[in-house]
Amino acid sequence: MAFYVVQFLTGLASAASLFLVASGLSIIFGVTRIVNFAHGAFYMIGAYVAFTLTERLSGAFGFWGAIVIAAFAVALIGVLVEMVLLRRIYHAPELFQLLATFGLTLMVEDLVVLIWGPDDLVGRRAPGFKGAIDFFGQNIPSYDLFLIVLGPVVLGILWLLFQRTRWGVLVRAATQDRDMVAALGVNQKWLFTSVFAVGVFLAALGGALQIPRDAVHHAMDLRIIVEVFVVVVIGGLGSIIGAFVAAVLVSELNAFGILIFPKISIILVFLVMAAVLIVRPWGLFGRPEAPARKTPGLTVNPWRPLTSNERLASLAAFVIAATLPLFAGNYALTVGSEIAIFVIFAVSLHFLMSVGGLASFGHAAYFGLGAYGVAFLAKMAGLPMIVCLLLGPLLGCMGAAVFGFFAVQLSGVYFAMLTLAFAQIVWSIAFQWVSVTGGDNGILGVWPSSWAASPSHFYWLALGVAALVTIALRAMVFSPFGYALRATRDSLLRSEAVGINAKRIQWTAFVIAGTTAGIGGALFAYLKGSVFPDNLGISLSVDALVMVLLGGVETVSGAVIGAIVYKALNIWLVSQTDLSKLVLGGFIVLIVVVFPKGIVGMLEMLAQRRRKTSPPGSPLLAKPIESAE
């Protein structure tokens, strides 16, 4: 019995940090409507800065002072970020905001390694809370008791701040209607900046308070942000009480989940989240999100199928790509195969994101599931390659069917957060369930059959599949289903009013996209000869997002171009620098701020400008050619 009590108290102690970070995210979202992906990064910086300061400053005052100073210092960094970056993108679509803050996260991950090194850092114990308290033979660290008290205290302070101060009233008003608050003469800029500072302060404080409990390392940002997303999805974005209750719930589920499913404890949290979403899609304390704002400046040209000239051009590009093995070496062919596979991956996400308006932040889950599907079939069942390639993607299909069902109940940022959380869950299973998946060691020796073993044959296979998938998905965009999907993206209200079951259409699209990604993953497993948890990791999901964005999220053929350019750049970059995350992150931020229409979008705009000045009937390509490689 005492053991369970101690487990319960451990859970409560973990909830404190989680609550601090989640409430910060919630407050920022409430006012600015930005889901700050970089919140985990601020949490991590908070921990690192606090580590350094506690090492330098001595004594009890030094320790506690260092924690507070660290939080303030990181809040200052937050102010800087808000003023330099976020102010430029408050009116951008929410997808762009998520991506920009994700780009920041990537940059921070490399920066902390640059500054503090790649090793785990173990911080000092907190003065005054070094010991443990005996509870019927079980030890409870006294620092845990401190954290258990701290959580409700912070909740109380936040409550007072929001109920009793002028600033709090403004924040609550802005959460309800920020345009109205601006119309009443409140300086919105400084309100947003101060809110962001408070949110970042809370995240950094959460990170700083973790150092006596946990080692500081450069991957702690992603771990906390996924948990925080789960917390705000359960508690409801924008609700501080919700963040508190959900943080306790999630922490307790983690604490007891380990006892019930020691291997895959995260399953329990997932089940609870799924249950909450079915009963209350907006979280326990959340309110339904107002319909997404229409974004000025990003209008979409009506899509149309390719003209016969454009079809010929695409065919020519495909034929040229197919001649690559005649003059290129093996390395180039391997790169070519990888690019073809990523074209498949990118067009599958494009279908979901651009056609369906559902920006998945965890699309790699289905890519990786396809890869694992192939690995299971090839290694355990010993099936031949062609059968594995056909059946492997079904694992991606099944994953998409299960997760997609829950994900499409939500939209916008909730959808993005949920897909990310799902992907992280799949990743954890692959990582933790060592007996089946091999854990971190992956599954090795997934080699293609002899007919596809040579680099040129494999390249032709990958190129052929990529072309087929691209054509099939493109045909679907202009099929009745494609129209219905675009209809649900443009107006849920109107689609329901013309008899469309929007959720079911979106679910179908999710399954199609997941299965297609699975096809890419299946090929990828054979290309690499192995599968690893990284094949369904977050960074791969983001790769896909950047490919679509780079090509142009509003175009039909952008994903293909985006995948080719991005993947080629990426392979080159990784061979050139150790700081690929820093460069990549900076690149993402740059695209969002100065280049929001992507490559194909830009070309289309230029073509349109030229068409307006040139006489009608001149043979101009409205859309650039769509090539398979």
Partner 1 sequence: MSVAPPLLAVEGLTKSYGGVHAVRGVSFSLRAGEILALIGPNGAGKSTCFDMLNGQNKPDTGHVRLLGEDTTGRKPREIWRMGVGRTFQITATFATMTVRENVQVALISHGKQLYNLWGSAPNFDRGEAGRLLELVGMGGYADRPCGELAYGDLKRLELAVALANQPKLLLMDEPTAGMAPRERVDLMRLTAQIAREKSIGVLFTEHDMDVVFEHADRIIVLNRGTLIAEGSPAEVRGNPQVQAVYLGEGLLYDAQHREGASA
Sign of CA dihedral 594, 599, 600, 605: positive
**Per-residue CA distances from 342 to 23, 255, 410, 568 (Å):** 37, 39, 27, 10
Residues contacting residue 211 through CB under 8 Å, at least 6 positions apart:
47, 50, 51, 54, 123, 124
The answer to whether the CB of 268 falls within 8 A of the CB of 261 is yes
Minimum CB separation of residue 301 from partner 1 in Å reads 7
Minimum CB separation of residue 556 from partner 1 in Å reads 12
Minimum CB separation of residue 597 from partner 1 in Å reads 14
Name which of 303 and 447 has its Cβ closer to partner 1. 303
Name which of 139 and 491 has its Cβ closer to partner 1. 491
Q: What does the binding site for partner 1 look like in residue numbers (CB under 8 A)?
A: 294, 299-302, 304-305, 475-476, 478-484, 486-487, 489-491, 493-501, 505, 508
Residues contacting residue 142 through CB under 8 Å, at least 6 positions apart:
129, 130, 131, 132, 133
Name which of 298 and 573 has its Cβ closer to partner 1. 298
Name which of 306 and 568 has its Cβ closer to partner 1. 306
Name which of 66 and 355 has its Cβ closer to partner 1. 355
Residues contacting residue 370 through CB under 8 Å, at least 6 positions apart:
392, 393, 395, 396, 517, 518, 519, 520, 521, 522, 524, 525
Backbone angles phi and psi of 488, in degrees to 5: -65, -30
Name which of 210 and 506 has its Cβ closer to partner 1. 506
User: Distance between CA 238 and CA 232 in Å, rounded?
Assistant: 8
Q: Please report the DSSP string for 303-355 in residue order.
A: P-PPPHHHHHHHHHHHHHHHTHHHH--HHHHHHHHHHHHHHHHHHHHHIIIII
Residues contacting residue 7 through CB under 8 Å, at least 6 positions apart:
255, 256, 259
Q: Is 625 helix (H, G, I), strand (E, B) or coil?
A: coil
Minimum CB separation of residue 473 from partner 1 in Å reads 10
Name which of 259 and 472 has its Cβ closer to partner 1. 472
Name which of 549 and 553 has its Cβ closer to partner 1. 553
The candidate with the shortest Cα–Cα distance to 597, out of 546, 554, 561, 539, is 554
